[in-house]
Amino acid sequence: MNHRTTTPAAAAPFDVAHVPPADRLTTAVRTDRMRHPGFGRVLTEHMVTIRWTEDAGWHEARLRPYQALEFDPATVGIHYGQIVFEGLKAYSLADGRVGIFRPDAAARRLQRSATRLAMPEMPTALFTSAVTELVRADRAWVPAEVGKSLYLRPVLMATEADLDLRPAREYLFLLIAFVTDNFFPGELRPRTVWVCEDHVRAAPGGTGEAKTPGNYAASLLAQEQARERGCDQVVWLDAVERRWVEEMGGMNLFFAVGPEEAPRLLTPPLRGTILPRVTRDSLITIASDLGWSTSEEPISVEQWRRWADGGSLREVFACGTAAVVTPVGTVRSAAGDWTVNGGRAGPLAARLRTALLDVQHGLVPDRHGWMVPVG
């Protein structure tokens, strides 16, 4: 084992143990695995763990070989779901370096999610050190091609083994990474969506704006029902009136109206039930940079249909770290079906997707300071 200790910007130093050279995958095996990675299958060779206890705070920061972990059967996270997670990506840059996209934004959202689930907040500097250490160790797993990336998955879970129902007093931060190209095969192929009225993703006062596994587990049944109806994804409506569009699967939604050369981009406002995705925020900024007008305003299903039927709706697309930008072509609902842009992908989603990927791969100046290069 190759042990060394580095000092991250935050409190705890990292104890570093690399996979010994003799146990590393060969370049040929790694290259083969990275060819068609899909999403979430091609895991890298290292991981990070950091512990938190009431007495010691954040400690035992370790970069170590990827390995299975053991948990006490009475672990709080497993029983009561006191778990939050994140998703962010590292990209190869045009200058040969690797850059991580907006780790500070992911750190802040993890802190907000943790607060909502009565968990300790990890300092931004420690979070950034963790992702930087992992990307550095698994540098060889960052794909060179535009459109492929290294997806980083931080998780914070309650690890205390005591099933009294109260916030745990021990936590584990866990960070793994996998190579990805597409969350959806055929990325810009328009999707068919099912407007779900039977189930809701989040209710006012609930955990909708936190990135916590329960929100995803609760979405799976509706997602399956959407599939049974021949749809790719489910569109969530608000819990109170079942009328206002909130999200699509695990993605935020955008609606483009107006002329192609000066479109208006609309997205539902963040009022506690929608996950504030970093991609959503980045696309709003990029659209403004392009001179498009943007607005966060409630959009009803009836409005969506009226716009589509009246011809004023140019495009609808979803976005997220995993999916990047994905057009919606056909909408199915209990009240009937309609299409967006005749069911075809349009130029606006493609333009935003390219503009975002250009920044992420260092092909254009990073005017907002979003990329954190890894030395």
Q: Rule CB under 6 A: choose which of 172, 313, 322, 356 binds ligand COI.
A: 322
Enumerate residues 141-170 that contact ligand COI by CB under 6 A.
none
Closest contact distance (angstroms) between CB of 6 and ligand COI is 27
User: Which backbone phi and psi does 334 adopt, to 5 degrees?
Assistant: -60, -30
352 secondary structure, DSSP code: H
Q: Which part of the chain contacts ligand COI (CB under 6 A), choosing from 49-57, 164-172, 234-242, 316-324?
A: 316-324
Nearer to ligand COI, 12 or 322 (CB): 322
User: Could you tell me if 359 and 366 are in contact, meaning their C-beta atoms sit under 8 angstroms apart?
Assistant: yes
Nearest to 329 by CA among 195, 229, 196, 191: 191
Q: Which part of the chain contacts ligand COI (CB under 6 A), choosing from 93-101, 127-135, 199-207, 320-328?
A: 320-328
Measured CA to CA, the distance from residue 74 to residue 42 in angstroms comes to 30
Q: Rule CB under 6 A: choose which of 37, 99, 123, 250 binds ligand COI.
A: 250
Nearer to ligand COI, 113 or 341 (CB): 113
Q: Cα(first)–Cα(last) distance of the chain, in Å?
A: 22
Alpha-carbon distances of 257 from 68, 128, 254, 302, 368, rounded to whole Å: 49, 38, 10, 15, 26
Q: Rule CB under 6 A: choose which of 8, 37, 87, 120 binds ligand COI.
A: 87
By the rule CB under 6 A, 84 interacts with ligand COI? no
Q: Output the residue with the shortest Cβ distance to ligand COI.
A: 87
Nearest to 52 by CA among 168, 210, 154, 152: 168
Closest contact distance (angstroms) between CB of 293 and ligand COI is 26
Nearer to ligand COI, 38 or 342 (CB): 38
Q: Which part of the chain contacts ligand COI (CB under 6 A), choosing from 23-31, 107-115, 314-322, 354-362?
A: 314-322
Nearer to ligand COI, 275 or 316 (CB): 275
Closest contact distance (angstroms) between CB of 186 and ligand COI is 17
Nearer to ligand COI, 51 or 153 (CB): 153
75 secondary structure, DSSP code: B
Question: Residue 242: which region, alpha, beta or left (left: phi > 0; alpha: psi -120 to 50)?
Answer: left
Rounded to the nearest 10 degrees, the angle between the axes of helix 103-116 and helix 278-289 is: 140
DSSP H/E element including 18:
strand 14-18
Nearer to ligand COI, 149 or 341 (CB): 149
- Count of residues interacting with ligand COI (CB under 6 A): 7
By the rule CB under 6 A, 320 interacts with ligand COI? yes
Q: Which part of the chain contacts ligand COI (CB under 6 A), choosing from 52-60, 111-119, 228-236, 318-326?
A: 318-326
Residue ranges with strand state E in 227-366: 233-237, 245-248, 251-257, 264-267, 293-296, 313-320, 324-333, 336-339
Nearer to ligand COI, 183 or 292 (CB): 183
Strand partners, 266: 255, 295
Closest contact distance (angstroms) between CB of 300 and ligand COI is 25
By the rule CB under 6 A, 318 interacts with ligand COI? no
User: Could you tell me if 368 and 228 are in contact, meaning their C-beta atoms sit under 8 angstroms apart?
Assistant: no
Measured CA to CA, the distance from residue 123 to residue 98 in angstroms comes to 23
Contacts of 95 (CB under 8 A, 6+ apart): 362
Measured CA to CA, the distance from residue 100 to residue 133 in angstroms comes to 11
Measured CA to CA, the distance from residue 251 to residue 274 in angstroms comes to 9
By the rule CB under 6 A, 362 interacts with ligand COI? no
Which string of x and - marks every residue 180-219 that binds ligand COI (by CB under 6 A)? ---x--------------------------------x---
Closest contact distance (angstroms) between CB of 217 and ligand COI is 11
Closest contact distance (angstroms) between CB of 85 and ligand COI is 7
Nearer to ligand COI, 141 or 151 (CB): 151
By the rule CB under 6 A, 321 interacts with ligand COI? yes
Amino acid letter, 74: A
Residues that bind ligand COI (CB under 6 A): 87, 183, 216, 250, 320-322
